[in-house]
């Protein structure tokens, strides 16, 4: 594994090339920074109680809405995001395992295990993901990135104290699969309504990546609830718009089924991602 200093140099060079290709513009949408990551600053890493992104095992959020395909046709979208009772050590930090299932027109197009941890300051970090993509019910690919493998780095998914005007921040870095998502605190103190409820004191974060010039997803977060809405802006090709339609606490039997599904996906991950996922220890 190359040193982090080497990785930072590569990122800086890439950013220079990226900005040059955009005519030298240094708009907020084109820049971001890495936050310092210290694995010794995670004493209770699996206790994720950040008010904007609480992650209690057994909690499931379901989102529904629409998106657009490459030909400009609308289709129905549904995403189920569940916090399992599994954990996994990544880059020296014990992480919480999330189980995510994506549906297009009621067909599963992706299953994913993703890894989060909270540091001592209350920031929620993203340390990698193993998504498996499907077409017509058959496995297609798995663009996996894991912090500490193939120059991948962890990033912050949610600040402990988000404020408008702070620098854009990378939410992770997976160069082998071109994963470069970053966030910008767009607005605070907003209001929004979704099928579950109407909310005040809403935080809006604009997310994009280095490969998406002039495009963003806007994600809406509510204290002690989490993400409640997704919208799009600019030249976002997918035009994904989602709203929270259900938030539940799973009973033990349902949670056990989710755990079994996540463990089955991990077993497959060791088979199809030997160079990346194969370098990690199993979930517990």
What CATH number does residue 171 fall under?
Answer: 2.40.360
Query: What HEC string does 112-152 produce?
Result: EEEEEEECCCCCEEEEEEEEEEEECCEEEECCCEECCCCCC
Dihedral in degrees, nearest 10, Cα atoms 97, 102, 106, 109: -110
Cβ(195)–Cβ(204) below 8 Å:
no
Does pLDDT of 180 surpass 90? yes
Q: What angle do CA 63, 69, 74 make, to 5 degrees?
A: 60
- Compare 237 and 26 and report the one with higher pLDDT: 237
Q: What is the pLDDT of residue 2?
A: 34
Q: What is the pLDDT of residue 227?
A: 98
Domain membership flag for residue 4: no
CA 55 to chain centre: 13
Distance between CA atoms of residues 266 and 139, nearest Å: 14
Domain membership flag for residue 140: yes
Does pLDDT of 176 surpass 60? yes
Cβ(98)–Cβ(81) below 8 Å:
yes
Return the sign of the alpha-carbon dihedral for residues 20, 231, 52, 283.
negative
Average pLDDT, the chain: 90
Q: What is the pLDDT of residue 145?
A: 98
Reported as a single tens digit per residue, the pLDDT across 94-147 is 999 999 999 999 999 999 999 999 999 999 999 999 999 999 999 999 999 999
Q: What is the pLDDT of residue 211?
A: 84
How many folded domains does the chain comprise? 1
Task: Determine what percent of the chain is predicted with pLDDT higher than 90.
Answer: 84
Reported as a single tens digit per residue, the pLDDT across 183-213 is 999 999 999 999 999 999 999 999 999 988 8
Domain membership flag for residue 56: yes
Tokens 């989060």 correspond to what residue? Answer: 116
CA 47 to chain centre: 18
Domain membership flag for residue 12: no
Return the sign of the alpha-carbon dihedral for residues 246, 248, 254, 259.
positive
Beta bridge mates, 193:
198
pLDDT band at 236 (very low <50, low <70, confident <90, very high): confident
Q: What is the pLDDT of residue 165?
A: 96
Q: What is the pLDDT of residue 31?
A: 78
CA 146 to chain centre: 12
Domain membership flag for residue 236: yes
Q: What is the pLDDT of residue 6?
A: 34
Domain membership flag for residue 20: no
**HSE-CB of 163 using CA atoms within 13 angstroms:** 4
Q: What is the pLDDT of residue 65?
A: 98
Q: The tokens of 123 are what?
A: 């920031």
Q: What is the pLDDT of residue 30?
A: 55
Distance between CA atoms of residues 283 and 276, nearest Å: 15
Domain membership flag for residue 15: no
Range of the domain at 184: 28-279
Q: What is the number of other CB atoms lying within 10 angstroms of the CB of residue 22?
A: 14
Segment among 2-16, 54-68, 150-164 with least mean pLDDT: 2-16
Does pLDDT of 214 surpass 60? yes
Q: The tokens of 21 are what?
A: 């290709």
Domain membership flag for residue 11: no
CA 230 to chain centre: 13
Q: What is the pLDDT of residue 202?
A: 98
Query: pTM (2 decimals)?
Result: 0.89
């Amino acid at each position: 594994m190359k040193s982090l200093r080497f990785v930072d140099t590569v990122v800086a060079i890439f950013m220079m090339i990226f900005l040059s290709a955009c005519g030298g513009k240094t708009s907020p949408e084109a820049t971001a920074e890495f936050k310092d990551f210290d694995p010794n600053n995670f004493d209770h890493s699996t206790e994720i109680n950040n008010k904007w992104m609480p992650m209690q095992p057994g909690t499931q959020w379901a989102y529904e809405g629409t998106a657009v395909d490459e030909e400009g046709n609308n289709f129905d979208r549904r995403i189920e995001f569940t916090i399992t009772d599994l954990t996994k050590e990544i880059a020296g930090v014990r992480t919480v395992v999330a189980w995510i299932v994506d549906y297009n027109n009621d067909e599963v197009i992706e299953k994913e295990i993703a890894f989060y941890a909270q540091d001592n300051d209350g920031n929620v970090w993203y340390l990698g993901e193993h998504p498996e993509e499907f077409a017509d019910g058959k496995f297609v690919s798995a663009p996996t990135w894991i912090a500490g493998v193939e120059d991948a780095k962890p990033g912050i998914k949610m600040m402990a104290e988000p404020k408008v005007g702070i620098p854009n921040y990378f939410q992770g870095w997976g160069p082998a699969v071109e994963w470069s998502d970053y966030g910008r605190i767009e607005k605070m103190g907003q209001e929004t309504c979704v099928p579950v409820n109407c909310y005040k004191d809403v935080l809006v974060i604009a997310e994009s990546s280095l490969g998406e010039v002039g495009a963003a997803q806007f994600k809406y977060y509510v204290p002690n609830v989490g993400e409640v809405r997704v919208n799009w802006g600019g030249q976002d090709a997918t035009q994904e718009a989602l709203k929270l339609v259900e938030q539940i606490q799973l009973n033990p039997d349902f949670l056990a089924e989710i755990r079994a599904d996540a463990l089955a996906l991990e077993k497959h991950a060791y088979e199809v991602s030997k160079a990346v996922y194969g370098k990690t220890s199993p979930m517990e």
